[in-house]
Amino acid sequence: MSLVVTGSIGIDTVETPYGRRENILGGSAIYFSYAASFFTPVRLVGAVGADAPEQLKSVFAGRDVDASGLEVRAGSKTFRWHGSYLKDMNEAETKQVDLNVLAEAAPRVPEKFHDSSFVFLANTHPALQRQMAGNFKNARLLVADTMNLWINNERQALVELLKIIHGLVLNDGEARLLTGKKNLVEAARDVLTMGPKFVVIKKGEHGCLMSSAAGTFVLPAYPADKVIDPTGAGDSFAGGMMGYLACQGGSVDPENLRRALAFGTVTASYAIADFSLGGLQATTRQQIDQRREELKKAMSF
Protein backbone atom coordinates (compact mmCIF):
# COMPACT_ATOMS: atom_id res chain seq x y z
CA MET A 1 0.00 0.00 0.00
CA SER A 2 1.46 3.36 -1.06
CA LEU A 3 1.72 6.30 1.34
CA VAL A 4 2.44 9.74 -0.11
CA VAL A 5 3.26 12.97 1.73
CA THR A 6 3.18 16.51 0.37
CA GLY A 7 4.87 19.13 2.50
CA SER A 8 7.79 21.42 3.18
CA ILE A 9 11.50 20.74 2.91
CA GLY A 10 13.56 23.31 4.72
CA ILE A 11 16.85 24.61 5.94
CA ASP A 12 16.60 25.19 9.69
CA THR A 13 18.48 27.08 12.35
CA VAL A 14 17.51 25.75 15.77
CA GLU A 15 18.37 26.91 19.28
CA THR A 16 17.68 24.83 22.38
CA PRO A 17 19.25 24.67 25.85
CA TYR A 18 21.54 22.00 24.35
CA GLY A 19 23.04 24.21 21.69
CA ARG A 20 22.55 25.89 18.36
CA ARG A 21 22.59 24.28 14.93
CA GLU A 22 22.62 26.26 11.70
CA ASN A 23 21.62 25.24 8.17
CA ILE A 24 20.37 21.79 9.12
CA LEU A 25 17.83 19.77 7.17
CA GLY A 26 14.21 20.14 8.26
CA GLY A 27 10.68 20.48 6.98
CA SER A 28 7.47 18.53 7.52
CA ALA A 29 7.88 16.22 4.53
CA ILE A 30 11.39 15.23 5.61
CA TYR A 31 10.50 14.31 9.19
CA PHE A 32 7.27 12.62 8.13
CA SER A 33 8.91 10.54 5.40
CA TYR A 34 11.73 9.29 7.59
CA ALA A 35 9.37 8.38 10.44
CA ALA A 36 6.82 6.68 8.20
CA SER A 37 9.52 4.65 6.42
CA PHE A 38 9.95 2.54 9.56
CA PHE A 39 6.57 1.04 8.72
CA THR A 40 5.86 1.28 4.99
CA PRO A 41 7.23 2.58 1.66
CA VAL A 42 6.83 6.35 1.33
CA ARG A 43 6.47 8.68 -1.63
CA LEU A 44 7.62 12.28 -1.13
CA VAL A 45 6.36 15.33 -3.00
CA GLY A 46 8.01 18.70 -2.36
CA ALA A 47 10.14 21.48 -3.75
CA VAL A 48 13.48 23.07 -2.88
CA GLY A 49 15.66 25.75 -4.40
CA ALA A 50 19.12 25.54 -5.88
CA ASP A 51 20.50 26.12 -2.38
CA ALA A 52 19.09 22.83 -1.05
CA PRO A 53 21.20 21.24 1.70
CA GLU A 54 23.87 18.86 0.44
CA GLN A 55 22.70 16.20 2.91
CA LEU A 56 19.32 16.05 1.14
CA LYS A 57 20.93 13.85 -1.52
CA SER A 58 21.71 11.06 0.94
CA VAL A 59 19.32 11.53 3.84
CA PHE A 60 17.07 8.67 2.72
CA ALA A 61 19.87 6.27 1.80
CA GLY A 62 18.80 2.79 2.87
CA ARG A 63 15.21 3.92 3.49
CA ASP A 64 12.22 2.92 1.36
CA VAL A 65 11.47 6.51 0.36
CA ASP A 66 10.76 7.40 -3.27
CA ALA A 67 11.89 11.02 -3.62
CA SER A 68 11.22 11.27 -7.36
CA GLY A 69 8.50 13.79 -6.48
CA LEU A 70 11.17 16.22 -5.25
CA GLU A 71 11.62 19.28 -7.45
CA VAL A 72 14.87 21.24 -7.39
CA ARG A 73 14.10 24.65 -8.87
CA ALA A 74 16.92 26.64 -10.39
CA GLY A 75 16.64 30.30 -9.50
CA SER A 76 14.55 29.59 -6.40
CA LYS A 77 15.54 29.43 -2.75
CA THR A 78 14.66 26.73 -0.23
CA PHE A 79 12.24 27.40 2.62
CA ARG A 80 14.14 28.59 5.71
CA TRP A 81 13.10 28.65 9.38
CA HIS A 82 14.90 29.87 12.50
CA GLY A 83 13.34 28.78 15.76
CA SER A 84 14.27 28.96 19.43
CA TYR A 85 13.25 26.72 22.34
CA LEU A 86 15.29 28.64 24.91
CA LYS A 87 12.16 29.96 26.66
CA ASP A 88 9.94 26.88 26.33
CA MET A 89 10.83 23.41 25.03
CA ASN A 90 7.14 22.79 24.32
CA GLU A 91 6.72 25.62 21.82
CA ALA A 92 9.18 27.17 19.41
CA GLU A 93 9.63 30.91 19.14
CA THR A 94 9.98 31.71 15.47
CA LYS A 95 12.86 34.13 15.00
CA GLN A 96 12.72 34.27 11.22
CA VAL A 97 10.92 32.51 8.39
CA ASP A 98 11.53 32.82 4.66
CA LEU A 99 8.89 31.01 2.61
CA ASN A 100 10.93 31.21 -0.62
CA VAL A 101 9.91 28.23 -2.78
CA LEU A 102 6.84 27.60 -0.62
CA ALA A 103 5.38 30.87 -1.91
CA GLU A 104 5.61 29.61 -5.49
CA ALA A 105 3.45 27.15 -7.42
CA ALA A 106 2.83 23.74 -5.91
CA PRO A 107 5.19 20.94 -6.90
CA ARG A 108 4.00 18.59 -9.62
CA VAL A 109 2.85 15.18 -8.43
CA PRO A 110 4.44 12.44 -10.58
CA GLU A 111 1.84 10.45 -12.48
CA LYS A 112 3.09 7.23 -10.92
CA PHE A 113 2.12 8.65 -7.51
CA HIS A 114 -1.50 9.29 -8.50
CA ASP A 115 -2.59 5.79 -7.43
CA SER A 116 -1.47 6.34 -3.82
CA SER A 117 -3.95 4.85 -1.36
CA PHE A 118 -2.86 6.83 1.70
CA VAL A 119 -2.18 10.57 1.63
CA PHE A 120 -0.86 12.98 4.23
CA LEU A 121 -1.17 16.66 3.43
CA ALA A 122 1.41 18.28 5.70
CA ASN A 123 0.88 21.83 6.89
CA THR A 124 0.61 24.46 4.15
CA HIS A 125 -2.09 26.75 2.74
CA PRO A 126 -5.40 24.82 2.88
CA ALA A 127 -6.30 25.77 -0.69
CA LEU A 128 -3.00 24.26 -1.80
CA GLN A 129 -3.69 21.15 0.30
CA ARG A 130 -7.06 20.78 -1.40
CA GLN A 131 -5.42 21.22 -4.80
CA MET A 132 -2.84 18.54 -4.00
CA ALA A 133 -5.56 16.18 -2.75
CA GLY A 134 -7.13 16.33 -6.20
CA ASN A 135 -4.19 14.34 -7.57
CA PHE A 136 -5.15 11.26 -5.56
CA LYS A 137 -8.55 10.15 -6.82
CA ASN A 138 -8.27 6.66 -5.32
CA ALA A 139 -7.12 7.68 -1.84
CA ARG A 140 -8.57 5.44 0.85
CA LEU A 141 -7.25 7.57 3.69
CA LEU A 142 -6.69 11.32 3.38
CA VAL A 143 -5.29 13.12 6.43
CA ALA A 144 -4.15 16.74 6.83
CA ASP A 145 -2.26 18.95 9.25
CA THR A 146 -2.83 22.67 9.75
CA MET A 147 -1.70 25.64 11.86
CA ASN A 148 -2.95 28.83 13.52
CA LEU A 149 -1.94 31.03 10.55
CA TRP A 150 -4.51 29.35 8.30
CA ILE A 151 -7.15 29.19 11.01
CA ASN A 152 -6.86 32.96 11.51
CA ASN A 153 -6.35 34.11 7.93
CA GLU A 154 -7.73 31.40 5.62
CA ARG A 155 -10.58 29.93 7.63
CA GLN A 156 -13.01 29.44 4.73
CA ALA A 157 -10.39 27.61 2.68
CA LEU A 158 -9.68 25.41 5.70
CA VAL A 159 -13.39 24.70 6.18
CA GLU A 160 -13.58 23.55 2.55
CA LEU A 161 -10.59 21.28 3.08
CA LEU A 162 -12.14 19.70 6.18
CA LYS A 163 -15.12 18.59 4.08
CA ILE A 164 -13.01 16.26 1.93
CA ILE A 165 -10.49 14.73 4.36
CA HIS A 166 -10.85 11.70 6.61
CA GLY A 167 -8.61 12.86 9.45
CA LEU A 168 -7.16 16.07 10.87
CA VAL A 169 -4.04 16.48 13.00
CA LEU A 170 -3.48 19.70 14.95
CA ASN A 171 -2.20 20.86 18.32
CA ASP A 172 -4.22 21.89 21.37
CA GLY A 173 -3.92 25.64 20.78
CA GLU A 174 -5.01 25.24 17.17
CA ALA A 175 -7.99 23.09 18.18
CA ARG A 176 -9.17 25.76 20.61
CA LEU A 177 -8.63 28.50 18.02
CA LEU A 178 -10.54 26.60 15.32
CA THR A 179 -13.56 25.76 17.46
CA GLY A 180 -13.63 28.47 20.12
CA LYS A 181 -13.86 25.74 22.78
CA LYS A 182 -11.42 25.67 25.69
CA ASN A 183 -12.22 22.07 26.60
CA LEU A 184 -10.33 19.82 24.20
CA VAL A 185 -12.94 17.05 24.31
CA GLU A 186 -15.57 19.54 23.19
CA ALA A 187 -13.19 21.02 20.64
CA ALA A 188 -12.51 17.61 19.12
CA ARG A 189 -16.21 16.86 18.83
CA ASP A 190 -16.77 20.17 17.09
CA VAL A 191 -14.08 19.36 14.53
CA LEU A 192 -15.87 16.11 13.71
CA THR A 193 -18.97 18.07 12.72
CA MET A 194 -16.87 19.86 10.10
CA GLY A 195 -16.23 16.69 8.10
CA PRO A 196 -13.33 14.51 9.32
CA LYS A 197 -14.03 11.02 10.63
CA PHE A 198 -11.37 11.44 13.28
CA VAL A 199 -9.29 14.21 14.78
CA VAL A 200 -6.00 13.94 16.64
CA ILE A 201 -5.03 16.76 18.99
CA LYS A 202 -1.36 16.87 19.94
CA LYS A 203 -0.54 18.11 23.44
CA GLY A 204 3.27 18.07 23.42
CA GLU A 205 4.76 16.49 26.53
CA HIS A 206 1.22 15.71 27.70
CA GLY A 207 0.51 13.26 24.87
CA CYS A 208 -2.47 13.39 22.53
CA LEU A 209 -6.23 13.11 22.34
CA MET A 210 -8.14 11.39 19.56
CA SER A 211 -11.85 11.68 18.88
CA SER A 212 -14.05 9.77 16.44
CA ALA A 213 -17.62 8.46 16.28
CA ALA A 214 -16.48 5.70 18.66
CA GLY A 215 -15.62 8.22 21.37
CA THR A 216 -12.54 9.85 22.87
CA PHE A 217 -9.15 8.26 23.51
CA VAL A 218 -6.33 9.89 25.47
CA LEU A 219 -2.72 8.71 25.28
CA PRO A 220 0.16 10.06 27.39
CA ALA A 221 3.49 10.89 25.82
CA TYR A 222 6.31 8.40 26.18
CA PRO A 223 8.32 9.52 29.26
CA ALA A 224 11.47 10.38 27.31
CA ASP A 225 14.48 11.34 29.42
CA LYS A 226 16.37 12.88 26.51
CA VAL A 227 14.82 15.91 24.82
CA ILE A 228 17.42 17.76 22.75
CA ASP A 229 15.38 19.28 19.92
CA PRO A 230 11.55 19.14 19.65
CA THR A 231 11.57 20.31 16.02
CA GLY A 232 9.80 17.79 13.82
CA ALA A 233 8.21 15.92 16.72
CA GLY A 234 4.69 16.53 15.44
CA ASP A 235 5.60 15.53 11.87
CA SER A 236 7.39 12.42 13.15
CA PHE A 237 4.30 11.59 15.21
CA ALA A 238 2.14 11.92 12.08
CA GLY A 239 4.63 9.83 10.09
CA GLY A 240 4.59 7.01 12.62
CA MET A 241 0.80 7.13 12.86
CA MET A 242 0.18 7.18 9.09
CA GLY A 243 2.94 4.68 8.40
CA TYR A 244 1.32 2.20 10.77
CA LEU A 245 -2.18 2.82 9.36
CA ALA A 246 -0.88 2.30 5.82
CA CYS A 247 0.83 -1.00 6.65
CA GLN A 248 -2.46 -2.14 8.23
CA GLY A 249 -4.46 -1.39 5.10
CA GLY A 250 -5.69 2.01 6.20
CA SER A 251 -8.32 0.77 8.63
CA VAL A 252 -9.50 3.52 10.99
CA ASP A 253 -11.43 1.31 13.36
CA PRO A 254 -10.97 2.44 16.98
CA GLU A 255 -8.44 -0.23 17.97
CA ASN A 256 -6.28 0.34 14.91
CA LEU A 257 -6.31 4.11 15.43
CA ARG A 258 -5.24 3.68 19.05
CA ARG A 259 -2.32 1.48 18.07
CA ALA A 260 -1.37 3.98 15.37
CA LEU A 261 -1.29 6.78 17.94
CA ALA A 262 0.97 4.68 20.16
CA PHE A 263 3.41 4.06 17.32
CA GLY A 264 3.33 7.75 16.39
CA THR A 265 4.02 8.71 19.98
CA VAL A 266 7.06 6.49 20.43
CA THR A 267 8.46 7.38 17.00
CA ALA A 268 8.30 11.05 17.98
CA SER A 269 10.05 10.24 21.26
CA TYR A 270 13.11 9.20 19.25
CA ALA A 271 12.92 12.24 16.94
CA ILE A 272 13.40 14.64 19.86
CA ALA A 273 16.57 12.90 21.07
CA ASP A 274 18.88 14.86 18.75
CA PHE A 275 18.99 17.81 16.37
CA SER A 276 17.43 17.47 12.90
CA LEU A 277 17.04 13.81 11.90
CA GLY A 278 19.80 12.56 14.19
CA GLY A 279 17.41 10.93 16.64
CA LEU A 280 15.48 9.04 13.97
CA GLN A 281 18.63 8.05 12.11
CA ALA A 282 19.96 6.38 15.26
CA THR A 283 16.73 4.39 15.69
CA THR A 284 15.55 0.99 14.45
CA ARG A 285 12.08 -0.47 14.00
CA GLN A 286 12.93 -2.97 16.72
CA GLN A 287 13.58 -0.12 19.16
CA ILE A 288 10.28 1.50 18.21
CA ASP A 289 8.41 -1.77 18.82
CA GLN A 290 10.14 -2.20 22.16
CA ARG A 291 9.30 1.32 23.30
CA ARG A 292 5.70 0.83 22.21
CA GLU A 293 5.50 -2.23 24.48
CA GLU A 294 6.97 -0.19 27.32
CA LEU A 295 4.30 2.48 26.80
CA LYS A 296 1.58 -0.14 26.76
CA LYS A 297 2.80 -1.65 30.04
CA ALA A 298 3.10 1.77 31.63
CA MET A 299 -0.61 2.35 30.92
CA SER A 300 -1.75 -0.92 32.50
CA PHE A 301 -3.19 -0.69 36.00
Q: Give residue-wise pLDDT tens across range 161-187.
A: 999 999 999 999 999 999 999 999 999
* Band of pLDDT at residue 1, cut at 50, 70 and 90: low
Spatial separation of the C-alpha atoms in residues 144 and 153, rounded to whole Å: 18
Task: Determine the average pLDDT of the residues in 273-287.
Answer: 97
Whole-number pLDDT of residue 25: 96
CATH topology for 3-298?
UDP-N-acetylmuramoyl-L-alanine:D-glutamate ligase (3.40.1190)
Taking the CB of residue 251, how many other CB atoms lie within 10 A of it? 13
Single out the residue of 45, 161, 226, 24 nearest to residue 170, CA to CA: 161
- Give every strand in the sheet of 118-121, ordered side by side: 65-73, 42-49, 3-6, 118-121, 141-145, 167-171, 198-202, 208-212, 215-219
Q: Judge contact between 212 and 185, C-beta under 8 A.
A: no
pLDDT surpassing 70 at residue 44: yes
Predicted structure pTM score: 0.95
pLDDT surpassing 70 at residue 230: yes
* Band of pLDDT at residue 125, cut at 50, 70 and 90: confident
Task: Determine the average pLDDT of the residues in 192-210.
Answer: 95
180 vs 150, 176, 177, 256, 267, CA distance in Å? 15, 5, 5, 30, 31
Q: How far apart are the first and last CA of the chain?
A: 36
pLDDT surpassing 90 at residue 86: yes
pLDDT tens string 23-32: 999 999 999 9
SS3 120: strand
pLDDT surpassing 80 at residue 22: yes
* Band of pLDDT at residue 147, cut at 50, 70 and 90: confident
Q: Please name the amino acid found at residue 210.
A: M
The conformation of residue 94, written as its DSSP 8-state character, comes to E
Phi and psi angles of residue 256, each rounded to the nearest 5 degrees, phi first? -65, -40
Spatial separation of the C-alpha atoms in residues 235 and 32, rounded to whole Å: 5
Average model confidence (pLDDT) for the chain? 94
Taking the CB of residue 253, how many other CB atoms lie within 10 A of it? 10
